[in-house]
């Protein structure tokens, strides 16, 4: 585990984005670990039905395997973020290996549009990993509302307790993939509830 002082220092220096101070009634839904044929198409359908936009933090090797899904994400007005090349803890990677993973993923994703955001694998980055990401032109984003149940995709009741937590400027973190097919239902319920409260779902860049 990282020492507490080491872990919180980047936050105190404003190097990690959790939420965005704003008076505009908007929040940013974000989705990790795609793209995946088991979840991405249904998730995109839900977002389209609600007229909502989100940010997809994609894993490089999965994006390379499913370029059509990446193209659809971008074509439908969503934003793409860098979630490194493989699903592995960022903070355990040697810095040069991490840099190459970021660059490889960036090359894969940039073919579909600009990529300015980075989310570390398995939670927290070290200050050194943050520095590498910043040198590569990427800003680190975590979140201020996270679905834990259903392996991060939510369950049938998640939208009920998640919605009250979502406010102006909130960055919501959800996960997709083969074991997370409930994510589309979670997002559907969440968007139904937040729109009744006057909140719009937008990309991170639109929020920031």
- The verdict on whether 78 is a catalytic residue reads no
Instruction: List the catalytic residue out of 66, 78, 83, 175.
Output: 175
State the Cα torsion 191-149-98-104 to the nearest 10°. Answer: -50
From 171, 178, 158, select the one nearest 203 (Cα to Cα): 171
Instruction: List the catalytic residue out of 32, 36, 159, 188.
Output: 32
- The verdict on whether 32 is a catalytic residue reads yes
Return the sign of the alpha-carbon dihedral for residues 84, 58, 188, 198: positive
> What residues are annotated to the active site?
32, 175
């Amino acid at each position: 585990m990282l020492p507490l002082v080491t872990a919180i220092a980047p936050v105190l220096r404003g190097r990690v984005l959790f939420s965005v101070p704003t008076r505009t009634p908007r929040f940013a839904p974000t989705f990790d670990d795609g793209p995946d044929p088991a979840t991405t198409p249904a998730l995109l359908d839900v977002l389209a039905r609600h007229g909502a936009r989100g940010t997809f933090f994609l894993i490089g090797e999965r994006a390379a395997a499913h370029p059509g899904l990446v193209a659809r994400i971008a074509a439908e007005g969503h934003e793409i973020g860098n979630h490194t090349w493989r699903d592995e803890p960022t903070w355990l990677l040697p810095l040069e290996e991490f840099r190459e993973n970021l660059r490889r993923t960036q090359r894969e994703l940039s073919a579909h549009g600009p990529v300015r955001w980075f989310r570390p694998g398995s939670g927290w980055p070290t200050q050194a990993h943050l520095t590498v990401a910043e040198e590569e032109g990427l800003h680190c984003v975590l979140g201020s509302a996270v679905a834990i149940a259903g392996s991060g995709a939510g369950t049938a009741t998640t939208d009920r307790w998640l919605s009250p937590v979502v406010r102006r400027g909130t960055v919501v973190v959800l996960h997709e993939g083969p074991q997370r097919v409930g994510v589309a239902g979670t997002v559907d319920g969440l968007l139904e509830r937040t729109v009744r409260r006057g909140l719009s779902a937008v990309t991170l860049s639109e929020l920031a």
